[in-house]
Structure 1
């Protein structure tokens, strides 16, 4: 006899996202997750083992090598746990996630199977701490997660994904490439957002990339890709992408877009984090009114500022834009500020009256945001997306 699902995939009776933080749910979710997080790798194996046993057809949705996928599960869990008391940000993220999952061919029954596997994994590793209040908190939380994702997916009428043909591949360095892709139709992203891509060299392994240009009617997208250690997809893109390759492109995600206000704008970019910033600057240049914009582009060495000249040319053509290079190992007379981005940006002040956009590696984002908060930058003025390396 097949056991009944542990969870329901509909929101709690009220249906209001604000209820996500009711009744001590936040504290219960976070404290119980803290118990199982040290055993994240085992948790991931347990989750997928139960999922594939309960819904064998889902195995074909994932890559042969599950190592990367297991780590992504944990990152997604951590992100949701961190935002569980911020429904105004969590719900839009889940809606984007639901629309994105259409590209996998996810159907309603899969949400039930995922919920069953998730609660089974948490229960198995929480041990004696898995008591009725904990089970209810996770059940209700997953109900909200699945409800938001399913509602957004069901309401979406656009394509689940787009095909794109590689029309340009330029090596900028041994570990960096600029790839130009012509999509089958305009991808409806906003400048600063990111999309997931699947390449023929790594089927069913998706990587998030930010277009480096504002949306164009001809569907052309430029991506900056750095090969990172252990990066299955990024290394394949840099080393093996060829003109004519066909990519699959998922729906847009992310909340880092050009602010609607004309308050001062601060943009902090490290490494390939310059890509979405260029798209936003291109978008701003098309407007009649633009905010006074300060850009800091940083890296360990000058080689990391591979696109600085292009952004500097944009500043020459737009008097509202100023660009400052930041290098940790700057040579005398180079014209660059010396130090980390976190150090240099806060050296200039708290930027309390600016909208702030930050993009780069996870470590760079954490260091910069933390230091800016200490310096006095209001948290609600800072925007960044939870990027991962691969």
Structure 2
């Protein structure tokens, strides 16, 4: 795609998004057009559309920002194409989505901005996106969806659970990836979770889930998950991971359940003969949020290439936490607990110029940590994180 086409697509999207309420209006208009002109498409979406509308605009913006980086965009779209098989999506559905999105864009851009050249540019861009996703789905030989049976549910905090499942067949995901999950109590509401263990031939998988205030799915998982119930799991997504033969040192920063994909990578690296040095910062609001220090302590004691620094924003636990002493225990092999905002603490160590960086956590935590590291001198090209939507 040439630079002129990319510029036209970005300009029109940003003009619409910059208007007051623009992203929300665009998403609402898109879904209204899609469900009116293609009513069968409604069956693919949940009853509550609020979060779905928000993710749509963020996903479009993410793709548009990478139109001139096909080495990043195309693998991402291919993963999405493989993942969308779980819905039973067919090529004609991509046509419906592209047509509805372009109609919504044209409606809000207006006749002066939406020229014939702009129209052709959007056709080109949407065609590339659709063809990449369709092509990847057609070539895939793995299941469209896996079934996982819950074999253990363990409450770690009152709002955080560890759930282990037995898959109907092994899944070949890479440590550090994430996948969409649907639970029985929330049909058609898929949410992204990261396995906390590497893939294995037995099909065993583990997720760490924290209840999100006002969320639809995570509170249901925390409060309603039962042993024996079956979850549906989509294809693996994401590009985090440490190549087997890399010599670049690593900086990993994880907050809350963001430790899960980093922990999985460390467990996988522990099976190798040699590894680069890794410094992991694991953070939380309170000391009790550092719920997986026992595992990290074991890894750090067994492997000299790993340094783990725990960070908590507060020195004391919240009033509701019944302290068993675990949160204040001095775990062997770990650095002393530091107090402060994790991004600020990590950046205070310097620019980490010799490191590849991974950041995992809430969107706000990832953005704040990334900006603090960049301000400290870390090169943007060395920082990786999953899409923030």
After TM superposition, the structure 1 = structure 2 runs for residues 62-81 of structure 1, keeping only pairs within 5 Å, are 62-81=45-64
**1:267 aligns to 2:252 (yes or no):** yes
Query: Quick check: 2:166–2:203 contact (8 Å CA) kept in 1?
Result: yes
Query: Quick check: 1:342–1:368 contact (8 Å CA) kept in 2?
Result: yes
Tell me which residue corresponds to 1:377: 378
1: CA distance between counterparts of 2:361 and 2:34?
34
Q: What root-mean-square deviation, in Å, do the aligned CA atoms of Structure 1 and Structure 2 show?
A: 1.5
After TM superposition, the structure 1 = structure 2 runs for residues 128-147 of structure 1, keeping only pairs within 5 Å, are 128-147=112-131
- Paired residue total: 367
1:45 positional shift: 1.9
Which of 55, 71, 78 is residue 95 of structure 1 equivalent to? Answer: 78
The alignment partner of 1:283 has SS state of helix
Tell me which residue corresponds to 1:250: 234
Tell me which residue corresponds to 1:57: 40
Which of 301, 305, 313 is residue 328 of structure 1 equivalent to? Answer: 313
2: CA distance between counterparts of 1:255 and 1:210?
12
Tell me which residue corresponds to 2:356: 355
Query: Quick check: 1:195–1:210 contact (8 Å CA) kept in 2?
Result: yes
Tell me which residue corresponds to 2:223: 239
Gap runs ≥5 in structure 2: 317-327, 331-335
Query: Quick check: 1:262–1:289 contact (8 Å CA) kept in 2?
Result: no
1:75-95 CA deviation, whole Å, 9 max, x = no partner?
Answer: 211211222222110110000
The alignment partner of 1:213 has SS state of coil
1: CA distance between counterparts of 2:271 and 2:238?
22
Gap runs ≥5 in structure 1: 1-18
Query: Quick check: 1:194–1:210 contact (8 Å CA) kept in 2?
Result: yes
Query: Quick check: 2:270–2:303 contact (8 Å CA) kept in 1?
Result: yes
Tell me which residue corresponds to 1:15: none
After TM superposition, the structure 1 = structure 2 runs for residues 202-241 of structure 1, keeping only pairs within 5 Å, are 202-241=186-225
TM-score after normalising by structure 1: 0.91
1:204 positional shift: 0.4
Please, which moves more after superposition, 27-36 or 168-177?
27-36
1:380 positional shift: 2.0
Query: Quick check: 2:3–2:68 contact (8 Å CA) kept in 1?
Result: no
Query: Quick check: 2:209–2:218 contact (8 Å CA) kept in 1?
Result: yes
TM-score after normalising by structure 2: 0.91
After TM superposition, the structure 1 = structure 2 runs for residues 155-166 of structure 1, keeping only pairs within 5 Å, are 155-166=139-150
After TM superposition, the structure 1 = structure 2 runs for residues 171-320 of structure 1, keeping only pairs within 5 Å, are 171-260=155-244, 261-320=246-305
The alignment partner of 1:172 has SS state of strand
1: CA distance between counterparts of 2:7 and 2:219?
40
2: CA distance between counterparts of 1:199 and 1:66?
17
1:188 positional shift: 1.4
1:265 positional shift: 1.1
2: CA distance between counterparts of 1:358 and 1:104?
30
2: CA distance between counterparts of 1:25 and 1:282?
44
Which of 125, 132, 135 is residue 151 of structure 1 equivalent to? Answer: 135
1: CA distance between counterparts of 2:176 and 2:116?
43
1:315-364 CA deviation, whole Å, 9 max, x = no partner?
Answer: 01111111001111236x98321221211111111111111111011011
2: CA distance between counterparts of 1:354 and 1:370?
16
The alignment partner of 1:380 has SS state of helix
Query: Quick check: 1:330–1:336 contact (8 Å CA) kept in 2?
Result: no
Please, which moves more after superposition, 201-210 or 56-65?
56-65
